[in-house]
Amino acid sequence: MKATAKANANIALVKYWGKKNKELNIPQNDSISVTLDKLNTTTTVEFHSRYKEDIFILNEKVQGKYKTKKISRHLNIIRQEAKIKEKAKVQSINNFPSSSGLASSSSAFAALSIAAAKAAGLNLDSRKLSTIARKGSGSACRSIYGGFVEWKTEENNDNGSFSKQILSPECWQQFRVIVVIVSNKEKTISSRSGMAQTVATSPMYESWLKTIDNDLLLMKHAIQEKNFSLVGKIAEANCLKMHSTMLTTSPPIIYWLPQTIKIIRSILEWREENLEPYFTIDAGPQVKILCLEKDVTELKKRLNQLQIAQKIIVCKQGKEALIIR
């Protein structure tokens, strides 16, 4: 009863921030993302009667009660589906910093769902795996798939909210995301509590929701047409709208660091000069730059000249999450 899965993280181009149903992790709005090939989590799950409690080991360190409890809650969903009682040992490796705004929870819960389901002897399709992954972390339901992905809520019930692929990685090979890591520190406010505070207190929240349907419609069309300028423009504007709901939360949620702003400003300047980068940022200080392959070398050179990046990772579109052992 042991299996290993590997899943890639994803970055949202039209984002979700806020839940309609906290228990089932059903979002206020649909979202669209791209899966990234260089940021991934590899997770091994073993169910066995010799384990008295669930054990969670992340990046070779045994985790304490708080993080293990989250994993146990997720394993309970699988145990219930498979009608088993065994506790599990879960070993996960992230090849990038955890909990710092790089969507580590998206790859983490996608890999955990797939590995645990397989280890428990379940044979689930991608839609069901996406539905299960959603309950660990919303964005994880998108990491079940590769390429460009949409997360839709068709019905406000457990089985009605899951992801689907919009475009496979092979269809748009020039698309790149440059991930610029400016800090390895764990964020102080989790997405889960941050978004709940925003929904409860930001006067901008209702206006943000009103603009989403249009962003989704345009983004999906732009991806299908491979219209890079339109994808970049909508993603950047959508990111700024989400951050404006965070900034106007009480107390304010400011995930950006001075280095984040420096990169934003540089990207705006570089767009005046024959380059076409756009930025997007999640719940953390790291900047993800959307661009085409032709601009990667020059953008990397300029980013290095800024001397603020701890690490620069050039990603192509990632493939779907898979069982590897």
Q: How far is the CB of 21 from ligand PMV (least distance, A)?
A: 13
Contact between 138 and ligand PMV per CB under 6 A: yes
Q: What is the distance between the alpha carbons of residues 253 and 246, in angstroms, rounded to a whole number?
A: 5
Instruction: Check whether the bond before 277 is cis (ω within 30° of 0).
Output: no
Q: How far is the CB of 240 from ligand PMV (least distance, A)?
A: 13
3-state SS assignment for residue 123: coil
Q: b/e for 54-90, b at 16 or more Cβ within 10 A?
A: bbbebeeeebeeeebebbbebbebbbeebebebbbbb
Number of C-beta neighbours around residue 133 at 10 A: 34
Q: What is the distance between the alpha carbons of residues 291 and 301, in angstroms, rounded to a whole number?
A: 14
Please say which residue, 91 or 104, places its beta carbon nearer to ligand PMV.
104
Among 3, 5, 7, 12, interactor with ligand PMV by CB under 6 A:
12
Q: How far is the CB of 29 from ligand PMV (least distance, A)?
A: 9
Contact between 6 and ligand PMV per CB under 6 A: no
Q: How far is the CB of 239 from ligand PMV (least distance, A)?
A: 9
Q: What is the distance between the alpha carbons of residues 124 and 163, in angstroms, rounded to a whole number?
A: 15
Among 29, 139, 163, 286, interactor with ligand PMV by CB under 6 A:
139
Please say which residue, 17 or 175, places its beta carbon nearer to ligand PMV.
17
Q: What is the distance between the alpha carbons of residues 77 and 226, in angstroms, rounded to a whole number?
A: 38
For residue 250, how many C-alpha atoms fall within 13 Å in the half-sphere facing its CB? 5
Sequence letter at residue 291: C
Among 4, 28, 29, 31, interactor with ligand PMV by CB under 6 A:
31
Among 283, 291, 299, 303, interactor with ligand PMV by CB under 6 A:
283
Contact between 16 and ligand PMV per CB under 6 A: yes
Contact between 191 and ligand PMV per CB under 6 A: yes
Please say which residue, 138 or 285, places its beta carbon nearer to ligand PMV.
138
Contact between 231 and ligand PMV per CB under 6 A: no
Q: How far is the CB of 103 from ligand PMV (least distance, A)?
A: 6
From residue 91 to residue 120, the character string flagging contacts with ligand PMV as x (rule: CB under 6 A) and all else as - is: ------------x-xx--------------
Q: What is the distance between the alpha carbons of residues 64 and 56, in angstroms, rounded to a whole number?
A: 8
Q: How far is the CB of 2 from ligand PMV (least distance, A)?
A: 27
- Listed residue (42, 39, 69) closest to 53, CA to CA: 69
Among 5, 9, 17, 320, interactor with ligand PMV by CB under 6 A:
17
Helices and strands (DSSP H and E) totals, the chain? 8, 14
Q: How far is the CB of 33 from ligand PMV (least distance, A)?
A: 6
Q: Tell me the pairing of strands 31-48 and 87-94.
A: antiparallel
> Which residue has the closest beta carbon to ligand PMV?
139
The site for ligand PMV (CB under 6 A) is made up of 12, 15-17, 31, 103, 105-106, 137-139, 191, 282-283
